[in-house]
Amino acid sequence: MSPRRLLICTAIAVLFAVSADVASGQWRRPNHSSPAEESSSIQAGGLTRTYILHLPTGVNSAKPIPLVLAFHGGGGKGAGMVGLTGFDEIADREGFAVAYPDGIDRHWSDFRKLSSIDDVGFIRALIDKLIRENHIDPKRVYATGMSNGGFFSSYLACRLTDKIAAIAAVAATMGEGEPEQCSPSRPISVLYMHGSKDPIVPIEGGAVLKTRGKCVSQDTAVRFWRDFDKTGPRSGVPSPADVHLAVYSGGKAGTEVVQYVVDGAGHVWPGGSQYLPAFIIGHATKAINASEIVWEFFQKHPLPE
């Protein structure tokens, strides 16, 4: 391991306490005590699982609303995603619900098998509960996440396509070997967004730190979904400076695959904060707003009839 890589690994371990502060809500928006947002729990797999649910204000309760599941990164909690993404404000404006689940021991069990917890079963049960209790539209349930949460979103695209309409993975790709074993039950639209200088999850694939398994490159993940969905060739779409955007539309059941690369950005949620020092995670970016882009993408892709 290079000295720089070793320094990053050591610093990450030392600064997990900082991550915990973020996850516990230190950087959450000031009016988090809004009655439209609440912490709750559910029994799943013999465990008590927790999550935060934000319901939009001022919507017509007679009309089913979409649901976005936002998954935190490794070492975090759902509360940290509230402030990092700003999804609550978008949800109030656009009229959708957001759930921020908590992983056991602050991690998600994605394809890399870093945990033996049945997180897919938990999310299936959570979706059913939220649909039953909150007038959620079952055809408009979406998954997004950062880092470990992004890998888990990809994992759900492989294993929970009867429930999840589309996914968006930020600062994540797929686990090494996952494309060969991924067998979704239907075509599904996916979006990948990554910083070109991510020191934690390399955009070209490889080891995720020292003990977090390996990932495929973003191009490999995108190619898998393009082939699976049978999309058309790349469309010419304008993008902001320092952002490379590729859109592959015309897939089965109206699916599309979208790929963002942000020049110079690190292991971050674009538009979000510099949640840890740049020498650990690279530089944050305001070139684009990931949350706005993810929601715009989700709006176009309900479950097919």
Hey, where are the domains in the chain? 3-299
Q: Which residue has the tokens 């292991």?
A: 267
Taking alpha carbons only, the member of 53, 103, 33, 37 closest to residue 75 is 103
pLDDT at 147 over 80: yes
Predicted model pTM? 0.89
How do residues 174-210 score in pLDDT, each as one tens digit? 999 999 999 999 999 999 999 999 999 999 999 998 8
Q: Give pLDDT tens digits for 73-83.
A: 999 999 999 99
pLDDT tens digit sequence for 85-125: 999 999 999 999 999 999 999 999 999 988 889 999 999 99
Distance of CA 158 to the CA centre of its chain: 14
What pLDDT is stored for residue 62 in this prediction? Answer: 74
State the CATH architecture for 3-299.
3-Layer(aba) Sandwich (3.40)
Selected residue with higher pLDDT from 5 and 238: 238
Residue 95: C-alpha distances to residues 92, 98, 162, 167, 297 (Å): 5, 10, 23, 19, 15
Q: Are strands 214-215 and 206-207 parallel, antiparallel or unpaired?
A: antiparallel
